């Protein structure tokens, strides 16, 4: 894979930016939700403080006779008494079934009136006969009030119905009850309005299905009929709703529930809420769907264990009835997108009572209801929705800018690398000739360092190649002279007239030429043999006193290099180091020989030993030509020579001596350098050897 594609693939890590943004939005949404829950609970506590100041009649008892209470919520409209279901469609129905027929009951209150609608399924309908008594007379609905009076709602024909009740032996009409009877294909509809004062807080309702009279006795079918007291009629309290309305807020629904789970008051709606005036600031549908997908999915609303309309027995409500505050976050009923936060708070009232046997007073918290607060999450979701939209837009722009910048940078980087590759390839042609077209980069980055490294490498290869190209000429020159000496000596020896002294002279010259050839061959193989010896660890390390060793070595050098003055400056401190003596002497041989070959005859060669902390420094100085600036760092490379011409002393100089010095220095962990003297009069070679006094014997 090319570098551009690799870097573009690596740029995919930039996708961590929108991921981190989504995590931030998710955490922000969670924090806002927690804040909304805290605010909801604080509002609930404030409402509780107000509700606890008076009695609201919220303590009720569960039914023990199986007669379930009927619930009629307060509604703000008046129904037109025409028997039709148009106004009642939004009201849930309570289903009444009894085998032969069924009925749907809907009820609500408005002020002091109870409105009810009964849809009866009856295949055989019979109407009230005015010529007979009210008992067992046609199909009709019976309303039993709390004082035991049965109000029979019947009609002689479709239209206005009449409410009658029995008082002793008399049949009386109840003028305050009005209604309408509407015949349908399935049966009939009965719609009526009843004053709540007549019912006395209870309502027993049953339908009488009378077939055609076959004898003196009519066949009757009853629903919800009992000779016992009728069930309670649960209604919402308008005064309690007015109190709750003081705390009404947008998208906030407040409900008060009694001790049996019946709704007694409710204000507000869980409508969607838009923060601020900006319907135009909402995000696009696709973006909103993406935002909602990122957020946590709210759990389903708690299930209601009661099947009765108006009664709620969910887990939070039951917990609050038992005195524990329950808060949660749920999906709104009948909506898969919206969510709500809910808090069920116990309504407690402090009751003061006296202790038995003492005059001390004590106060107890008496629980008598539940305050349920529900608020749509759209209020804060609209905030995070807009924040997510801005974040998504800014992240997208940042990604595009980053991708464009990265693509441009990668293209520029690839162009520089390709240019470096072309320059490197064009520096050497197919014949191995070097050109001067390679120009190292001046930039300070890694590619610039690589370019300069290539330039230095090419220069060294060029110098090494030039040396190899001139090596044959050097070898030819070096070998031709001793061979000519050998040949001429042998020719003269064969033509000699037998003079012993003359023959010995020719033999000596031939031997000298052969020895010179041998030294040339030895110099060529010396470096490789030394490197192999070091690699296989053939050298023994000993603790040697360098002052003593160099004193003896320099004394021997004075006999060899008689044309120069060798001067040794010893160190006053002990210089005991763990070294390979033979190798270090060989290194000194090369350095002294190199100094003698360049120093003028009669000049001084200074050898100085010194110690600096845990290092020993050997410095050899000689007067003579300076080192070329371009070659100072390449002197110790293999087969590199800076000699312009060879001396006539018969020595061989193939550029291997200083390379051997470098091999020996590396073996000892030492550093060797070559520098021109500060006054420009010559050259100094410095060897720095580390020593460890703890290892000395």
- The residue extents of the domains of the chain are 16-58+237-351+363-388, 70-231, 458-536, 539-695
Structure tokens at 73: 């919520």
Strands 187-195, 204-208: pairing kind: unpaired
Of 109-123, 173-187, 224-238, 409-423, the poorest mean pLDDT is in: 224-238
CA 41 – CA 596 distance, rounded (Å): 101
Residue 687 has pLDDT above 90, yes or no: yes
478 vs 54, higher pLDDT? 54
Residues of the chain with pLDDT > 90, as a percent, come to 16
Mean pLDDT of 640-651: 52
Q: Which of 269, 264, 271 is nearest to 233 (CA)?
A: 264
Q: pLDDT class for 93, splitting at 50, 70, 90?
A: confident
Which is nearest to 82 in space by CA: 203, 201, 211, 192?
A: 192
DSSP of 346-362: EEEEEEEEEPTTS--EE
| Among 517, 495, 515, residue whose Cα is nearest residue 506 | 495
Tell me the CB-side half-sphere exposure of residue 587, using CA atoms within 13 A. Answer: 27
Question: Taking the CB of residue 304, how many other CB atoms lie within 10 A of it?
Answer: 15
Considering the domain delimited by 70-231, tell me its CATH architecture.
Answer: Sandwich (2.60)
pLDDT band for 609, please (50, 70, 90 cuts). Answer: very high
Residue 479 makes CB contacts below 8 A (sequence gap 6+) with 517, 520
Q: Residue 249's pLDDT is what?
A: 84
**Looking at domain 458-536, which CATH architecture does it have?**
Orthogonal Bundle (1.10)
- Decide which of 608 and 461 is more confident: 608
Average pLDDT of the residues in 338-360: 73
Contact indicator for 283, 389 with CB cutoff of 8 Å: yes
Q: 84 phi and psi, to 5 degrees?
A: -80, 160
Token pair of 282 as six digits: 């909402």
CA distance 155 to 191: 12
Highest average pLDDT, of 3-12, 58-67, 287-296, 581-590, comes from: 581-590
Instruction: Give the Cβ contact number of residue 176 at 10 Å.
Output: 12
Q: How many CB atoms lie within 10 A of CB 327?
A: 17
Contacts of 374 (CB under 8 A, 6+ apart): 252, 253, 255, 270, 340, 341, 342
Assign 640 a pLDDT band (cuts: 50, 70, 90).
low
What distance in Å separates the CA atoms of residue 3 and residue 533, rounded to the nearest whole number? 44
d(CA 419, CA 435): 16
Contact between residue 74 and residue 110 where contact means Cβ atoms under 8 Å apart: yes
Helix (H) or strand (E) holding 396: helix 378-427
Tokens standing for 690? 């580390």
What token pair was written down for 532? 């192999």
pTM across the whole model: 0.54
CATH number of 16-58+237-351+363-388: 3.30.450.20
CA contacts within 13 A on the Cβ side of 504: 3
User: What Cα–Cα distance (Å) separates residue 695 from each residue in 33, 578, 579?
Assistant: 73, 8, 12
* Assigned CATH class of 539-695: alpha beta
Query: Rounded distance, CA 117 to CA 107, Å?
Result: 6
**694 CB-contact burial (10 Å; exposed 0-12 / middle 13-18 / buried 19+):** exposed
Q: How much is the CA Rg of the chain, to the nearest whole Å?
A: 58
Angle between helices 16-51 and 378-427 (to 10 degrees): 170
Average pLDDT over the chain, rounded to whole?
79
Q: What percent of the chain has pLDDT over 70?
A: 75
What is the edge-to-edge ordering of all strands in the sheet holding 565-569? Answer: 565-569, 604-612, 615-623, 682-690, 671-676
Q: What is the Cα–Cα distance from 305 to 261, expressed in whole angstroms?
A: 11
Residue 287 pLDDT > 70, yes or no?
no
């Amino acid at each position: 894979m090319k570098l551009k594609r690799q870097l573009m693939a690596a740029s995919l890590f930039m996708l961590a930016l929108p991921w981190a943004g989504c995590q931030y939005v998710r955490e922000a949404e969670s924090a806002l939700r927690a804040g909304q829950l805290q605010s909801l609970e604080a509002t609930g506590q404030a409402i509780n403080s107000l509700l606890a100041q008076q009695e609201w009649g919220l303590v009720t008892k569960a039914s023990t006779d199986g007669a379930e209470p009927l619930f009629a919520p307060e509604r703000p409209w008046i129904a037109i008494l025409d028997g039709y279901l148009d106004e009642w469609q939004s009201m849930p129905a309570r289903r009444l079934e009894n085998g032969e027929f069924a009925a749907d009951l809907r009820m609500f209150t408005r002020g002091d009136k109870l409105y009810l609608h009964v849809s009866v399924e009856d295949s055989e309908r019979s109407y009230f006969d005015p010529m007979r008594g009210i008992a067992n007379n046609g199909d009709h609905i019976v309303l039993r009030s709390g004082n035991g009076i049965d109000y029979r709602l019947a009609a002689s024909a479709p239209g206005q119905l009449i409410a009658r009740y029995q008082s002793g032996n008399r049949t009386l009409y109840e003028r305050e009850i009005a209604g309408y009877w509407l015949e349908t294909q399935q049966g009939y509809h009965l719609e009526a309005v009843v004053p709540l004062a007549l019912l006395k807080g209870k309502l027993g309702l049953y339908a009488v299905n009378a077939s055609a009279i076959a004898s003196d006795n009519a066949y009757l079918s009853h629903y919800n009929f009992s000779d016992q007291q009728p069930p309670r009629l649960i209604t919402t309290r308008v005064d309690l709703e007015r109190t709750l309305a003081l705390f009404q807020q947008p998208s906030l629904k407040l409900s008060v529930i009694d001790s049996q789970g019946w709704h007694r008051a409710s204000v507000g709606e869980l409508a969607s809420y838009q923060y601020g005036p900006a319907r135009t600031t909402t995000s696009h549908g696709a973006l909103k769907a993406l935002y909602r997908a990122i957020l946590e999915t709210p759990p389903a609303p708690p299930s209601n264990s009661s099947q009765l309309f108006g009664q709620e027995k969910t887990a939070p409500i039951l917990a609050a009835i038992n005195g524990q505050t329950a808060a949660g976050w749920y999906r709104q009923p009948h909506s898969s997108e919206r969510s709500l936060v809910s808090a069920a708070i116990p309504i407690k009232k402090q009751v003061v009572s006296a202790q038995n046997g003492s005059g001390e007073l004590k106060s107890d918290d008496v629980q008598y209801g539940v305050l349920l607060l529900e608020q749509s999450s759209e209020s804060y979701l609209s905030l995070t929705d807009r924040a997510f939209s801005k974040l998504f837009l800014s992240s997208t722009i940042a990604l595009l800018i980053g991708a464009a910048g990265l693509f441009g940078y990668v293209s520029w980087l690839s162009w520089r690398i390709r240019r470096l590759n072309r320059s490197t390839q064009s520096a050497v042609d197919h014949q191995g000739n070097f050109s001067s077209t390679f120009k190292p980069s001046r930039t300070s980055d890694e590619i610039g360092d690589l370019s300069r490294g290539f330039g230095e490498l090419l220069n060294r290869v060029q110098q090494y190649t030039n040396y190899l190209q001139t090596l044959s000429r050097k070898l030819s020159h070096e070998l031709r002279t001793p061979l000519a000496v050998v040949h001429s000596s042998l020719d003269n020896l064969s033509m000699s007239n037998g003079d012993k002294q003359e023959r010995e002279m020719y033999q000596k010259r031939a031997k000298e030429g052969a020895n010179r050839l041998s030294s040339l061959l030895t110099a060529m193989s010396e470096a490789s043999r030394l490197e192999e010896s070091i690699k296989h660890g053939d050298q023994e390390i000993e603790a040697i006193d360098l002052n003593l060793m160099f004193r003896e070595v320099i004394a021997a050098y004075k006999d060899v290099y008689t044309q120069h003055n060798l001067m040794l400056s010893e160190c006053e401190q002990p210089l005991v180091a763990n070294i390979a003596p033979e190798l270090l002497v060989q290194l000194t041989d090369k350095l002294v020989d190199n100094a003698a070959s360049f120093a003028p005859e009669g000049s001084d060669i200074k050898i100085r030993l010194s110690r600096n902390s845990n290092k020993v420094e050997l410095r050899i100085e000689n007067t003579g030509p300076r080192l070329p600036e371009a070659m100072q760092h390449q002197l110790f490379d293999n087969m590199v020579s800076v000699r312009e011409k060879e001396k006539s002393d018969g020595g061989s100089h193939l550029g291997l001596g200083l390379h051997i010095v470098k091999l020996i220095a590396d073996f000892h962990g030492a550093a060797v350098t070559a520098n021109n003297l500060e006054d420009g009069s010559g050259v100094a070679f410095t060897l720095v050897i580390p020593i460890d006094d703890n290892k000395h014997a």
